[in-house]
Amino acid sequence: MSDAPVLSVRNLRVYYGTPGDPVRAVDGVSLDIGPGEVLGLVGESGCGKSTLGRGILGLLPDGARANGEVIYGGRNLVDLPMKATRRLRGPELGLIFQEPMTRLNPLMRIEDHFKETLEQHEPGLSDRDIRNRSLDTLGRMGIPPTRFRQYPHEFSGGMRQRIMIALALVLRPKLLVADEPTTSLDVIVEGQILRLLADLKENFGTALLMITHNLGIVAESCDRMAVMYAGKIVEEGPVKAVFFDPSHPYTQELLRSTISLDTTELHSIPGAPPNLIDPPPGCRFHPRCPAAMQVCAQKLPVEQRVEARRVSCWLHGPERQIPSGGQEKLQRAAIGVADEA
């Protein structure tokens, strides 16, 4: 990444308020996304990746608070008042959701959706310009102009997702956050959508944060990937490098759990994701890690960087920070059935 990143996240924390202690959904995440780059954010359900995506756009539900830095265009979005953040949504930052079936207003035509989006952000546009830009973007998503005046319920799920993407892109944002965009679609449609998203850099120059739990998608469409566990990023690097040489045990376990035509036996990671209100001390993964050491249960790992990669794991050092005896294997109690669920 030689150019300055489009988006810089530094030590971002997003907590959800509860009557008791808060839920630490995102607990100190830092990452950069370069212009036109596709960054995959991967993790199990409930690891906080969706919260991270929404937190970047400031679209958090009531009772959630953010702390830290989300630097875009030289400003920290976390500190911005809501009005300013709203102005950025659309022309600068876009978000597409997981479930396309319900994301379009059933009483409004597609044309009206586009008119609204464009008029809100570029009020000087003439009707003809609005129409042309909308049709152009839709066309690139494979939606013919004849369907411009139809209603959402007349489109299939895959087409609605394409319309959502077009709506997000018609304003030419610099960064698009895609929150599990293909999870609810069938495999063939998924392939089409992924191809569209992979071409964003060429056609629109837009960077993409692809949030998914599907490693296959990451392998196919992303330039770099970040692995998230229990609200923290445990590993990050170029896709090929991480796939062929994963550094963090969690990444290794994830890869081992994927299914391909060669799979003869199913592998799973024992245990369940931790409670985010009261996470385990030290490294969050240590209760389930096959390579856990004594120090893993005591101290949070220090992030190590090597070239374009980084990892948070005591297996990779720094050794001088490990107390004596810390490298002994950790004796874990057998993970009780009660913990699973």
Partner 1 sequence: MKRSGSLRSYVITRVLLAFPMLLILLTVVFLLMRVAPGDPITAALGGRVSAEELARRRHDAGYDRPLPIQYLEYLRGVATLNLGTTILDNRPMTQVIAQNGAATLELSFFAMIVAMVSGVGIGLIAGRYRDTAADLGGRLFGIVLYAAPVFFLGFLAQLTFGKWLDWLPTSGQTSPIVGATLATHTNLLVIDTIIDRNWTAFQDVVRHLIMPSVVLGLVIGGVFIRLVRVNLLQTMKGDYVEAARARGVKEGRVVYKHAFKNALVPVITIVGLNMALLLGGAVLTETTFNWPGIGHSLVTYLENRDYTAVQGIIVVFALVVVAVSLLVDFLNAYVDPRIRY
Partner 2 sequence: MATAARVGGLRASSRQRIASAGRALKPVAEARGIARGMLWAGAAITAFFVFLAFAAPLVSPYNFNAYQSNGVRFKQLAPPSSAHWMGTTVQSTDVMSRVVWGAQTELKVVIIAVAMSLLIGVPLGLLSGYFGGPLDRALVLVMDALIAFPYLLIAIVIAFLLTNSFGGGVLTAAIAITAAYIPLYFRVVRNHVISIREESYVDAARALGARPWTVIRKYVFFNVVQNVPPIATLNAADAILLLAALGFLGYGIQPSAGAEWGYDINRAVSDASSGIWWTALFPGLAIVLLVTGLTLLGEGLNETMNPVLRRRQFGDIDFDSQNADEAEAS
Question: Where does this chain bind partner 1 (CB under 8 A)?
Answer: 57, 59, 86-91, 94-95, 97, 99, 102-108, 116-117, 120-121, 153-154, 164, 167-168
| CA distance linking residue 138 with residue 146, whole number of Å | 11
φ and ψ at residue 29, rounded to 5 degrees = -105, 135
Q: How far is the CB of 237 from partner 1 (least distance, A)?
A: 29
φ and ψ at residue 85, rounded to 5 degrees = -60, -40
**Binders of partner 2 in range 20-59 (CB under 8 A):** 20-22, 24, 28
Q: How far is the CB of 159 from partner 1 (least distance, A)?
A: 13
DSSP structure string for 62-123? TTEEEEEEEEETTEEGGGS-HHHHHHHBTTTEEEE-S-GGGSS-TTS-HHHHHHHHHHHH-T
Q: How far is the CB of 281 from partner 2 (least distance, A)?
A: 5
Residue number with CB closer to partner 1 (150 or 257):
150
Residue number with CB closer to partner 2 (260 or 324):
324
For residue 91, the partner it binds in partner 1, partner 2, none, with Cβ less than 5 to 8 A by kind, is: partner 1
Among 67, 150, 156, 258, binds partner 2 (CB under 8 A): 67
Q: What distances in angstroms separate CA 5 from CA 9, 69, 71, one per listed residue?
A: 10, 14, 9
Number of residues interacting with partner 2: please give it, by CB under 8 A.
27
DSSP structure string for 226-272? EEEETTEEEEEEEHHHHHHS--SHHHHHHHHH---TT--S----SS-
Q: How far is the CB of 285 from partner 2 (least distance, A)?
A: 14
Q: How far is the CB of 22 from partner 2 (least distance, A)?
A: 5
In sequence order, the β-bridge partners of residue 89 are 93
Residue 281 engages partner 2 in binding (rule: CB under 8 A): yes
Residue number with CB closer to partner 2 (26 or 38):
26
Residue number with CB closer to partner 1 (178 or 233):
178
Residue 270 engages partner 2 in binding (rule: CB under 8 A): no
Q: How far is the CB of 186 from partner 1 (least distance, A)?
A: 19
